[in-house]
Amino acid sequence: MHIVQFNHVRVPVSKYGGAERIVVWLSQGLVELGHEVTLLAPKGSRVAGVRVVEVSPEEVLSSGFDLHRHVSEPVDIMHYHCEIRYPPPSVPCVWTLHGNMGGGWRADSRTICVSRDHAGRHGTHAFVRNGVRLDEYEFRTAKADYDLFLARLHSVKGWQVAIAAAKRCRVRLTLAGGWRPSFSRYIKFVGQVGGARKRELLAGARCLWMPVRWEDPCPVNILEALASGTPIIGSPRGSLPELISPDTGGLGTTLEELVALRGRLADWDPRACRARAERSFSHLVMAEEYVRMYRSVLETGTLPPGRSTP
């Protein structure tokens, strides 16, 4: 199958950018499964093992876009990673909704969401959960003397709750993300991280805090933590109940519940976290599910429902 992917932001990203990482890993996973992949992306994009064609996002998203001007070979399906405004008339297409849409917006027949909860909130049953390249993360059973928060420092991500819980537990918390607030002596701020530093933080952390205060579609940092053998303490919002199993972390709604969960850290084995990532959240599992979506569109004209985690 020849699959054309389109991303409107340059890839790869060096630090923050969950959706951009998914585009890279999905493209590579499809190639590893034996498919031909062409990635249309802005100037400067490079993805190892994938043919990249530099394009202007404005051109691709315009009503006059001619796909065959950039891709001469026959194309089976085109996959956008942003909303399709003007679908190419001669090629079947789908698009992945990576974020949340407000205002009662409902998915159209081409929309693929990234978790069951995400799909249900947007009026569809079609979803493929995100997956990560496991070989990009260091699995470690021996942890260092810190907990970790790794996400945007936005109120919906719950960083203030993580800090409050860390203070209550009297444990050291490393905060990695954009923007620097004022902290107590228990909090170490390291800013935005990527590459080796990010791998080190994820592998060494005793746990990852994700007490989100919004309906998070399918946060990549949780999958990265599982790949690193790091359990998660979060809130039961959005896709988190689908991602975090009882043997890989816990979910709490109040500060008191989160603090109590921190006391159960010894119950969660790093090996169980890694095994869950290998079984359900690798880039190849994700790619296989997208191939199932593509084939259904080509054979029946419709997207199939998403499936439960293996």
| CATH number reported for the structural domain that contains residue 161 in this entry | 3.40.50.2000
Confidence band of 187 (pLDDT split at 50, 70, 90):
confident
Q: How confident is the model over 15-23, as a mean pLDDT? A: 88
Number of domain units in the chain = 2
Distance CA 287, CA 129 (A): 10
First to last CA, the chain: 25
Task: Examine the domain organization and report whether 125 and 149 are in the same domain.
Answer: no
Confidence band of 135 (pLDDT split at 50, 70, 90):
very high
Task: Examine the domain organization and report whether 124 and 140 are in the same domain.
Answer: no
- The confidence score (pLDDT) of residue 293 equals 98
Percent of all residues in the chain with a pLDDT value above 70, rounded to a whole number: 97
The pTM score is 0.92
Distance CA 234, CA 32 (A): 33
Residues 6+ apart with CB under 8 A from 214: 100, 156, 157, 237, 238
Distance CA 253, CA 251 (A): 7
- The confidence score (pLDDT) of residue 184 equals 62
Q: How confident is the model over 26-53, as a mean pLDDT? A: 97
Distance CA 103, CA 89 (A): 29
Distance CA 162, CA 147 (A): 10
Q: Taking 70 as the threshold, does the pLDDT of residue 240 lie above it?
A: yes
Which of these, 62, 17, 22, 15, lies nearest to 39 by C-alpha position? Answer: 22
Q: What is the mean pLDDT of the chain?
A: 94
Asked if the structure places residue 310 within a domain, the reply is no
Q: Taking 90 as the threshold, does the pLDDT of residue 153 lie above it?
A: no
- The confidence score (pLDDT) of residue 208 equals 98
- The confidence score (pLDDT) of residue 225 equals 98
What is the three-class DSSP state of 289?
A: helix
Which of these, 278, 245, 267, 240, lies nearest to 114 by C-alpha position? Answer: 240
Task: Examine the domain organization and report whether 164 and 209 are in the same domain.
Answer: yes
Distance CA 98, CA 79 (A): 13
- The confidence score (pLDDT) of residue 89 equals 84
What is the three-class DSSP state of 241?
A: helix
Confidence band of 57 (pLDDT split at 50, 70, 90):
very high
Q: How confident is the model over 48-59, as a mean pLDDT? A: 96
φ and ψ at 59, to 5 degrees? -65, -45
Task: Examine the domain organization and report whether 272 and 287 are in the same domain.
Answer: no
Task: Examine the domain organization and report whether 246 and 141 are in the same domain.
Answer: yes
- Which range marks the domain in which residue 150 is found? 136-280
Distance CA 34, CA 48 (A): 15
φ and ψ at 282, to 5 degrees? -85, 165
Q: Taking 90 as the threshold, does the pLDDT of residue 90 lie above it?
A: no
Q: Give pLDDT tens digits for 259-301.
A: 999 999 999 999 999 999 999 999 999 999 999 999 999 999 9
- The confidence score (pLDDT) of residue 183 equals 63
Q: Taking 80 as the threshold, does the pLDDT of residue 251 lie above it?
A: yes
Task: Examine the domain organization and report whether 157 and 106 are in the same domain.
Answer: no
Q: Give pLDDT tens digits for 94-129.
A: 999 999 998 778 999 999 999 999 999 999 999 999
Asked if the structure places residue 306 within a domain, the reply is no
